């Protein structure tokens, strides 16, 4: 089972969603308070079943929020971001060389986030 790992940074507090194997599958922004960070965790749980909008194809179909957006970064790698109902980005992925790996990352969030435990370090 996956887990949210909440930790302090130099500028605030953030979380990583980790799969059962310990790999980080999504990361949050840096929040100013622990309460705001925990709200972010709950938002990822609540929105994790969202549909996918693939922005790497021409004339892609726009999907309503909440949604996962797949895009390519400046290095040409595939990434996803999970957006809440209000359009706010609540989690982002690492860069993937292959689109299939990026899609697997989204599936891992969908599988792990709803029941993930929270560990504060």
**All domains of the chain, ordered by start, with CATH?**
3-120 (2.30.29.80)
Max Cα–Cα distance, the chain, nearest Å: 43
Which DSSP symbol is given to 61?
A: P
Cβ atoms of residues 64 and 84 within 8 Å: no
Report pTM.
Answer: 0.95
Q: How many CB atoms lie within 10 A of CB 121?
A: 6
Residue-wise pLDDT tens for the chain (121 aa)? 899 999 999 999 999 999 999 999 999 999 999 999 999 999 999 999 999 999 999 999 999 999 999 999 999 999 999 999 999 999 999 999 999 999 999 999 999 999 999 999 9
Tell me how crowded residue 119 is: count the other CB atoms within 10 A of its CB. 13
H helices of the chain, where? 34-47, 99-112
């Amino acid at each position: 089972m996956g887990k949210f790992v909440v930790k302090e940074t130099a500028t605030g507090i953030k979380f990583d969603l980790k799969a059962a194997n310990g790999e980080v599958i999504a990361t949050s922004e840096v929040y100013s308070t622990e309460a705001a960070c925990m709200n972010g965790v709950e938002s990822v749980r609540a929105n994790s079943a969202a549909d996918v909008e693939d922005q790497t194809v021409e004339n892609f179909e726009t999907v309503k929020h909440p949604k996962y957006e797949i895009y390519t970064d400046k290095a040409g790698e595939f990434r996803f971001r999970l957006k809440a109902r209000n359009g706010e980005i609540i989690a982002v992925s690492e860069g993937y060389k292959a689109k299939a790996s990026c899609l697997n990352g989204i599936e891992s969030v969908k599988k792990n986030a709803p029941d993930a435990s929270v560990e504060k370090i």
